[in-house]
């Protein structure tokens, strides 16, 4: 037992002394003091919340705008993968934030948004290469318009 513990401590010491296994990017972030890749707690929180503020009306309109922008991008556009990733974060954060709130989850605007979000999430989460068909895209845009109208009416 003592030999095993000594071996582990010696191996760990060597790893820490030499800064990881060569110049591997995975080891560099974990074992060296590279401050360029470190993000602040505020940045991490904003990334996880996908920019949502907690104000239902503003969050809904922001997600609608982001999804419309993502759907407007052509399949070969260089910005599309980043926009789809951002949309996935927004869909997940929106659903997580308002699903458990009985006051918001009963609103027409929320149920309409969830219909649109579920349709898009099935395409965005399956694979990056699978694009949203025109029929589904048009239907999602109609649902987003309905949700936006409902927000304006307070329902």
Is residue 27 scored above 50 in pLDDT? no
pLDDT of residue 8: 66
- Please report, to the nearest 10 degrees, the dihedral formed by the alpha carbons of residues 109, 112, 118, 120 taken in order: -90
Lowest mean pLDDT among 3-17, 62-76, 116-130: 3-17
Q: How confident is the model at residue 28 (pLDDT cuts 50, 70, 90)?
A: very low
Is residue 142 scored above 90 in pLDDT? yes
Q: Is 51 helix (H, G, I), strand (E, B) or coil?
A: coil
96 phi, psi to nearest 5 deg: -65, -40
Q: How far apart are CA 45 and CA 51, in angstroms?
A: 9
Pick the more confident residue, 15 or 111. 111
23 φ/ψ sector (left φ>0, alpha ψ -120 to 50, else beta): alpha
- Mean pLDDT in residue range 40-53: 64
Pick the more confident residue, 50 or 144. 144
Is residue 133 scored above 80 in pLDDT? yes
Q: How confident is the model at residue 55 (pLDDT cuts 50, 70, 90)?
A: confident
Share of the chain above pLDDT 90, in %: 21
Q: Which of 97, 94, 107 is nearest to 66 (CA)?
A: 94
């Amino acid at each position: 037992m003592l030999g095993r513990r000594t071996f582990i401590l010696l191996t760990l010491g060597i790893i820490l002394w030499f800064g990881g296994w060569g110049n591997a990017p995975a080891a560099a972030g974990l074992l060296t003091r590279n401050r360029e890749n470190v993000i602040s707690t505020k940045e991490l929180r904003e990334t996880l919340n996908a920019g949502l503020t907690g104000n239902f009306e503003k969050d809904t309109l922001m997600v609608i705008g982001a999804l419309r922008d993502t759907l407007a991008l052509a399949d070969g556009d260089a910005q599309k993968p980043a926009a789809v990733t951002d949309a996935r974060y927004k869909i997940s954060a929106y659903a997580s934030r308002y699903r458990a709130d009985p006051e918001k989850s009963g609103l027409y605007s929320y149920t309409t948004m969830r219909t649109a979000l579920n349709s898009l999430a099935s395409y965005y989460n399956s694979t990056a290469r699978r694009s949203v068909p025109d029929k589904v895209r048009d239907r999602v845009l109609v649902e987003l318009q309905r949700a936006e109208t409902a927000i304006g009416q307070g329902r």
